[in-house]
Chains A and B, each alone.
Chain A
Amino acid sequence: MWVAFKRIVKAGAVGFWRNTFVSLASIFVMTVALFVVGSIIMIDQLLGASLQQIESKVDINVYFAVNASEADMQALKTSLEGLPEVSEVNYTSREDALVAFRERHQGDELTIQALEELGDNPLGASLAVRARSTDQYENIARFLEEQRSGESPQSPVIDRINFVKNKDAIDKLASIIDVVERASVVAMIILIGAAIAITFNTIRLAIYTTREEIAVMRLVGASNTFIRGPFMLQGIMYGAIAGIAALIIMYPILFWIGPGTQTFFEFNIFGYFISNFAYVFLVIVGSGIVVGLISSALAVSRYLRV
């Protein structure tokens, strides 16, 4: 058993070296295919990051009336925090709002002047409410509407709730991202399918050139395992080398576009590549090995009949 295994390994390695051209051609095609797979993983990460980023920008802002009492505001904050859908509530006091407003309009003489003229702080306090997931905003908004309708019209606590205004924009963005994600899944399936088909055909072609050898091996009395073994080992070697080559190609490309993705998506793809290298390595080299192994096993089987 061990002797047979040793011979298969040796024959596979020797065959790999002596068929240099065929080996290089197969590795080249597989490298391109695995590079496509790797790019798809990266694009998927970018899409996911941008979706997350947009989702993180979604919140409900509750603006209190200028003369709402501190106790009422804190009571609403506490009851919001009690809701299971709510992950975070941030309170901005009237003073903080004014400071933020001044900062935002620094250098805008006219607005600052108008503010000075008012004398009093015209801004109300506010709450920024964040849900655990985007589809829960609807419930929170409903809860707030109920609160507001329960208030006495003479001294309202809640001035306005901005969710409805943001809602359309958020829905539109979410649906765009949804479409893009779905399209990327379809593209991924097609591209990965094409990569597998191309790899399979290349390896089959490589083995086709050795079909007479396979026939000779059979005539000499070699068992099917003994014939198939070296080819499967070569498939594994093609896959592993192509996987590593694809990663080597990806490195400088991601390094180059990393800062760009940082500004555009607020997600550094190169950073992701480095910090999740083990996972990316496993997926790309692993799928290379699996596809190489299966392709060669299937291709040899064609010539092992009779």
Chain B
Amino acid sequence: MIYFDKVCKWYNGGDSVALEDITFQVAPHEFVSIVGHSGAGKSTILKMLIAEDRPSEGSVFYESTDIHKIPRGQLPKFRRKIGTVFQDFKLLPHKTAFENIAFAMEANGRSDEEIMENVPQALALVDLEDKAFNFPHELSGGEKQRVAIARAIVNQPDIIIADEPTGNLDPIATYEVVQILKKINDLGTTVIMTTHNKGIIDELGRRVITMDSGRVVRDDESGKYVL
């Protein structure tokens, strides 16, 4: 369902190379982890997927659509198919947990009835029903990340993209977040996650793509964290 075709990305007219000849595909319902040192190009790959960054060469396909040929006006519609989770949560600070999740549905043009029904469900999935009306600054890191995950899944996207979702979390919160992502994957959503955390990868036992200096150096079906 996702296909990277010989994607290259460089900055400053070729002086600094971020991605070099990246080719791989992701099938529906897969849970793929992308690992590598800082600057290996993990986040750049995710940015390409949500059309936040463009490849200098090559193309990225979502099903049969070339993501970077989608007209600007159609991008919001495309992005609604993908739920995103970030290391720094990126919650809207002036909205409560409930409103943060509802915002994604409002932006999607969902009805008030759907919002009243689906937001509590999403909050239940991440086990945060009692924090629905707290603002982000009143939540712990792990709770914020769970709100972010609830927001990412509430529109029932085809894919969840998680960029270092556990990077700012303590071990217990990390464990919880990974369990939630696993649960989402078991419910049928494709998950693509970048991480530094060896423990997570070894425990997951799913597909691992290892990157180094902008290249894919390993791609194991049920990999371990090897660098």
Which residues of A are interface residues toward B (Cβ below 8 A)? Answer: 3-4, 7, 14-15, 18-19, 212-213, 215-224, 226, 306
Contact = CB atoms under 8 A, between A and B. Distances in A.
Interface of B: 50, 52, 76-80, 84, 90-94, 103-104, 106-109, 111-112, 151, 155
B109 A217 contact: no
Contact of A220 (B52, B79, B109, B112): B79
A220 B94 contact: no
A3 B76 contact: no
A24 to B, nearest CB: 15
Contact of B94 (A18, A221, A223): A18
A224 B72 CA distance: 10
A221 B91 contact: no
Contacts of A224: 76
B94 A15 contact: yes
Nearest to A18: B94
B107 A220 contact: yes
A219 B111 CA distance: 20
Contacts of B79: 218-221
B112 A221 contact: no
A221 B90 contact: no
A190 to B, nearest CB: 37
Given A212-B90, A216-B90, A216-B92, A221 B52 contact: no
A305 to B, nearest CB: 9
B92 A217 contact: yes
Given A14-B94, A213-B94, A216-B91, 12 more contacts: A3-B109, A3-B111, A4-B109, A7-B106, A217-B92, A218-B79, A219-B52, A219-B79, A219-B84, A220-B84, A220-B103, A226-B107
Contacts of B94: 14-15, 18-19, 213
Contacts of B77: 221
A221 B93 contact: no
Closest 3 CB pairs of A and B: A222-B107, A221-B80, A221-B79
Contacts of A14: 94
Given A19-B94, A216-B92, A3 B112 contact: yes
Nearest to B74: A223
A256 to B, nearest CB: 41
B44 to A, nearest CB: 15
Nearest to B53: A306
Contact of A223 (B103, B107, B112): B107
Contacts of A213: 92-94
| Max chain B C-beta neighbours (<10 A), residue from A213, A217, A221, A223 | A221
13 contacts: A4-B109, A216-B90, A216-B91, A217-B103, A219-B52, A219-B90, A220-B107, A221-B76, A221-B78, A221-B104, A223-B107, A226-B107, A306-B52
Nearest to B91: A216
Contacts of B50: 219
Given A18-B94, A19-B94, A221 B108 contact: yes
